[in-house]
Copies of this chain bind each other. A is one copy, B any other.
Amino acid sequence: MTMLHEDTGVALWRRVADSLERGIADGHYRQGSKLPSETEIAELHGVNRHTVRRAIATLAERGLVRAERGSGTFVDSKRLTYPLRSRTRFSEIVGASGHEASGQLIATATEAAMSEIAAHLKIKAGTSLVRIDAMRAADGTPLCVSTNFLPAARFSDAGLIYERKRSMTKTLAHYGIRDYRRAWTRLTATIADASDALRLKLPVGSPVLVVDSLDVDTKGRPILTARTRFAAERVQFTVET
């Protein structure tokens, strides 16, 4: 709204910030690595050092970088890249990016299927379901909380199994399911509610990515439908088309 440049409607410092954020997001500047010095960035973008400082300040506020007087500004982004594909397994994905995956049961119960969930799982409404609420973390930091529904007929006591195994893949393996795949994924974002914020250790008002999904076995039979809420600031999804 104020001082513009080349009739683009965007402030200079914001353009610099966007550029840097992009560089961090796509791995051009890796986690822990040093950004170019403020004067270098200023020269690169053809702006004053103050402008760069303001850009960096906004990134630092959001926790993407950390400035150290005398040595430099370092990337401090723990955002995990999480591919959405046919084979989507939390522990695999987290493990592949060099972090230690862990899971924790929040609650489990047996419920009657609501019509919407029943439709997804291709069972009759009112059929018995196992509900599993779980929190998943990478290197101890909570990444997501998920609410899972499984047909109780096939997966009775799945909650108890999950509590022991702390992994959905292992729980399903206990029932003889050695492979399964993602049938569909739907995704949006919202503000974390109080309990999710607490479990994800997020400040109130933080955005979460809400992922609805259905997993099916090798024969295409639905086995699991879930709603998973990811701490948006800790994850970045990639879509493989």
Which A residues lie at the B interface, using CB under 8 A? 1, 5-10, 15, 18-19, 22-23, 25-26, 28, 44-46, 62, 79, 81, 84-86, 106-112, 114-117, 119-120, 125, 131, 133, 147, 182, 184-191, 195, 205, 207-209, 212, 227, 232-233, 235-241
Contacts and interface: CB of A to CB of B under 8 A. Distances in A.
B133 A10 contact: yes
A212 B182 contact: no
Contacts of A240: 184, 241
Contact of A189 (B7, B28, B184, B207): B207
A241 B189 contact: no
Contacts of A239: 84, 184-187, 239
Contact of A187 (B114, B125, B187): B187
A115 B184 contact: no
Contacts of A237: 186-188
Contacts of A233: 190
A141 B97 CA distance: 39
Contact of A7 (B79, B109, B147, B195): B109
Contacts of A116: 19, 22-23, 26, 28
A154 B237 CA distance: 31
Contact of A19 (B5, B117, B188): B117
Contact of A188 (B7, B125, B190, B235): B235
A10 B120 CA distance: 21
Nearest to A4: B107
A209 B62 CA distance: 16
B8 A232 contact: no
Closest 5 CB pairs of A and B: A9-B107, A8-B109, A189-B232, A189-B189, A207-B207
B238 A107 contact: no
A63 to B, nearest CB: 11
Given A22-B212, A106-B9, A44 B114 contact: yes
A241 B205 contact: no
Contacts of A189: 189, 207-209, 232
A7 B109 CA distance: 7
A52 to B, nearest CB: 12
